[in-house]
Amino acid sequence: MCGLCGFISTKAIPAEAPELRSMQNAIQHRGPDFFGSHVEEHVAFGFARLAINDPAGGQQPMYSEDGRVVAMTTGEIYNHRDLRRQLTARGHVFKTGCDTEVVPHLYEEYGSDFVRRLDGQFALVLYDRRERLFLGARDHFGVTPLFYTSTGDTLVFASEIKAILQHPAVEREVDPVGLDQVLTLPGLVSPRTMFRGVRSVPPGTTVLCRLGEQPREEKYWDLVYPRADEPVERHSERYYAERLEELLVRSVEKRLLSDVGVGLYLSGGLDSSLVGAIMRRLMPEADIPSFSAAFPERELSEADHQRTMSRALRTEHHERFIHGDEISERLRQVIRHTECPLKESFDAAAMALSETVHDNGVKVVLTGQGADEFFGGYIGYRFDQVRGGQVTGFGPDELREAELRARVWGDENFFYEGDDVAFRATKRALYADGLLEDVPDIDCLEHPLLDRERLAGLHPLHRRSYIDLKVRLADHLLGDHGDRMAFANSVESRHPFLDRELVEFVASVPPDLKVRGLEEKYLLKQVARDWIPASIVDREKFGFTAPGSPYLLRQQDELVESLLDPVRIKADGYFDPGAVARLVEEYSRPGFRINVPFEKDLLMTVITFNLLLDEYDLPRRGR
């Protein structure tokens, strides 16, 4: 992957386009190997390249033969060789061996529908000079980011918002609903961002904008689960296991295509261990570097299991031990890259780990990300099994909660992150009165969150899986936690479980083969037994956690104390100083702990939001 940025404008753009270079500099960490650009009267495209495929010849932008189409693509097109053969047979001429060169030629052949033919993780933009048409697109699952904003006569876009903010036409302003999303949900949900007017292109979506007109978004792909009452052909467990294994091996093989070495993020859990075992079988004699984050505190660390798997896979293993003081030292840098506040500190560990990858000369790593969302790996899937879809009570609070759940999730019995009605009161107490007066619609659950029609009639496991895909995976786990922390150190992460063909097959697997009784990932475990040690397959799932704000308070960290200072809180005008002070007092008590994931670290969000204000020079609201 790399970084892209630019703008189109009805105003004439000077040849030197100074704002474009500022935008490129803002995302140089995504592509330190080469800067490329294309500037003409109404178009300015800038590229920052991390050279992985065809390092010598794959400079961007790319062009069609006649120069009509100029295109830039970040990420990987895994089926580019098949597409190249098809396009060559139709008379197209290629100048490089780079995967991204297929994009302008595919557009020439198929128009904006060409994205349906792509298999990969990508964000792309192109400009049709004849039609004066801009097109942007983000991959099916949202592995690769793409943001944009329209200022009236100018459309500005980039792989990261920090580049967009370099354009003088873009104003810096907080979107309070984005803050409410972070507090309420696992993280931000596309198209919402923390910056008012800046949109994140949702996964599986294209953006089209003719010069001088407003952009419009079109969905080109979404995951479709069968309705619970829909008759489907049931196959044997063996059939599903064998097909799953076949597709997973194929997915790993595709993601090993690279002109540079490929490493492995090894967590010590089922998913990354299975990916690593497949890597080893496909590359029996290769040197495979593996990387793990570990903590001195045994209750937070998976180091023993990571070492077990490293020995089994014969990897060159690198451990990065994360000490608590490193969390606070990295927080400012973390928020600079995430471009959003957080409710946990694990992103600091993820950034430290990618730094270790970079320091060892590795540019690409495979991960186990994505398995939990499609095989029922989180505790919520087991909770659904126990609860059996029944309302827990009929009192006024329970009925209000049921009404809200029906409106947001399409099911009054669906329990996601917690009791939303009760937490709404918590949030209102935390926000400053002036913010609530100025933004009465701050509650993110009062805004459209996802397409509820996609949820209609689904089995509870499939309902939760689809919601996790949209609300947890795309912008949080793949975004601030994944892409941004990896590319902070110029590392590309690839996710074999997020292969379109594989996921579409898993969507057809009966729910009772994903969660059987209270055993999560049942079918995946059956496949894994032929690949990895039983001790890894059968171990209890271990959630990623890192020292939170109570630890930071006990360390009496100067930065944290300044960010929580009541005078500053009041001057900023987003949170209530009294509410924050009460949280500080509670979190500072000896022995106080937050029960993650069942309780929220509210102060971590306050701390990191205030860092966001500082890092991006966002306006204060204090009166």
Mean pLDDT of 5-9: 97
Q: At 48, give phi and psi (nearest 5°).
A: -125, 115
pLDDT confidence of residue 395: 74
Q: Which residues contact 327 (CB under 8 A, 6 or more apart)?
A: 345, 348, 349, 546, 547, 551, 552
Is the pLDDT assigned to residue 53 strictly greater than 70?
Answer: no
CB 458 within 8 A of CB 194: no
pLDDT per residue as tens digits for the range 104-143: 999 999 999 999 999 999 999 999 999 999 999 999 999 9
Per-residue confidence at 33, pLDDT binned at 50, 70, 90?
confident
Distance from the Cα of residue 98 to its chain's centroid: 25
- The angle, 0 to 180 degrees and rounded to 10, between the axes of the packed helices 602-615 and 176-184 is 150
Mean pLDDT of 325-348: 93
Per-residue confidence at 543, pLDDT binned at 50, 70, 90?
low
* Domain pair 3-219 / 237-376+465-537, same fold: no
Residue type, 262: V
The better pLDDT of the pair 97, 4 is held by 4
CB 587 within 8 A of CB 607: no
pLDDT confidence of residue 390: 59
- The angle, 0 to 180 degrees and rounded to 10, between the axes of the packed helices 237-255 and 270-282 is 70
Say whether 604 sits in a helix, a strand or coil: helix
pLDDT per residue as tens digits for the range 429-447: 999 999 999 999 999 999 9
DSSP-derived secondary structure for 25-63: HHTGGG--SEEEEEEETTEEEEEEE---SSTTT--SSEE
Is the pLDDT assigned to residue 299 strictly greater than 80?
Answer: no
Residue type, 30: R
Is the pLDDT assigned to residue 10 strictly greater than 60?
Answer: yes
Mean pLDDT of 265-271: 93
pLDDT per residue as tens digits for the range 59-71: 889 999 999 999 9
Question: What is d(CA 159, CA 27) in angstroms, rounded to the nearest whole number?
Answer: 8
Question: What is d(CA 216, CA 214) in angstroms, rounded to the nearest whole number?
Answer: 7
Q: Among the listed ranges 86-90, 95-99, 122-126, 149-153, which one has the minimum average pLDDT value?
A: 95-99
3-state secondary structure 435-501: HHHHCCCCCHHHCCCCCHHHHCCCCHHHHHHHHHHHHHHHHHHHHHHHHHHHHCCCCEEECCCCCHH
Is the pLDDT assigned to residue 98 strictly greater than 90?
Answer: no
Quickly tell me which residue has 């467990």 as its tokens. Answer: 237
Q: At 506, give phi and psi (nearest 5°).
A: -60, -30
Domain layout of the chain by residue ranges: 3-219, 237-376+465-537, 379-460, 549-615
* Highest mean pLDDT, choosing among 69-83, 392-406, 534-548: 69-83
Strands (E) across 509-622 are located at none
CB 598 within 8 A of CB 379: no
What percent of the chain has a predicted confidence (pLDDT) above 90? 77
Question: What is d(CA 177, CA 182) in angstroms, rounded to the nearest whole number?
Answer: 9
Distance from the Cα of residue 37 to its chain's centroid: 27
How does DSSP classify residue 431?
A: B
pLDDT confidence of residue 1: 59
* Highest mean pLDDT, choosing among 48-52, 170-174, 589-593: 170-174
Quickly tell me which residue has 């077990």 as its tokens. Answer: 308
Residue 407 burial (CB count, 10 A)? 12
Mean pLDDT of 324-347: 92
How does DSSP classify residue 519?
A: B
Per-residue confidence at 321, pLDDT binned at 50, 70, 90?
confident
Question: What is d(CA 478, CA 468) in angstroms, rounded to the nearest whole number?
Answer: 12
Nearest to 523 by CA among 327, 354, 374: 374
Per-residue confidence at 610, pLDDT binned at 50, 70, 90?
very high
Say whether 614 sits in a helix, a strand or coil: helix
Is the pLDDT assigned to residue 301 strictly greater than 80?
Answer: no
Per-residue confidence at 164, pLDDT binned at 50, 70, 90?
very high
pLDDT confidence of residue 260: 82
Residue 219 burial (CB count, 10 A)? 11
Where would I find the H helices in 166-269?
Answer: 176-184, 237-255
Question: What is d(CA 107, CA 61) in angstroms, rounded to the nearest whole number?
Answer: 15
Mean pLDDT of 26-49: 91
CB 141 within 8 A of CB 469: yes
Structure tokens at 27: 């995302």
pLDDT confidence of residue 491: 95
Architecture per CATH, 3-219? 4-Layer Sandwich (3.60)
Mean pLDDT of 544-570: 89
First to last CA, the chain: 44
Residue 282 burial (CB count, 10 A)? 12
Q: Among the listed ranges 28-37, 488-497, 509-518, 536-545, which one has the minimum average pLDDT value?
A: 536-545
Question: What is d(CA 276, CA 258) in angstroms, rounded to the nearest whole number?
Answer: 17
Per-residue confidence at 55, pLDDT binned at 50, 70, 90?
low
pLDDT confidence of residue 432: 97
Is the pLDDT assigned to residue 391 strictly greater than 60?
Answer: no
* Highest mean pLDDT, choosing among 48-52, 124-128, 346-350: 124-128
Q: Which residues contact 490 (CB under 8 A, 6 or more apart)?
A: 29, 30, 31, 32, 50, 358, 363
DSSP-derived secondary structure for 390-408: -----SHHHHHHHHHHHHH
Mean pLDDT of 222-235: 92
Average pLDDT over the chain, rounded to whole?
92
| HSE of 134, CA atoms in CB hemisphere, 13 A | 28
Mean pLDDT of 323-336: 90
User: Alpha-carbon Rg of the chain, whole angstroms?
Assistant: 24
What percent of the chain has a predicted confidence (pLDDT) above 70? 96
Quickly tell me which residue has 């009772």 as its tokens. Answer: 512
Beta bridge partners of 365: 263, 493
Superfamily classification of domain 237-376+465-537: HUPs (3.40.50.620)
Host H or E run for residue 119? none
Per-residue confidence at 613, pLDDT binned at 50, 70, 90?
very high
Host H or E run for residue 568? helix 566-572
Host H or E run for residue 74? strand 69-77
Residue type, 519: E
CB 113 within 8 A of CB 220: yes
Per-residue confidence at 388, pLDDT binned at 50, 70, 90?
low
The better pLDDT of the pair 369, 261 is held by 369
Is the pLDDT assigned to residue 167 strictly greater than 60?
Answer: yes
Residue 551 burial (CB count, 10 A)? 20
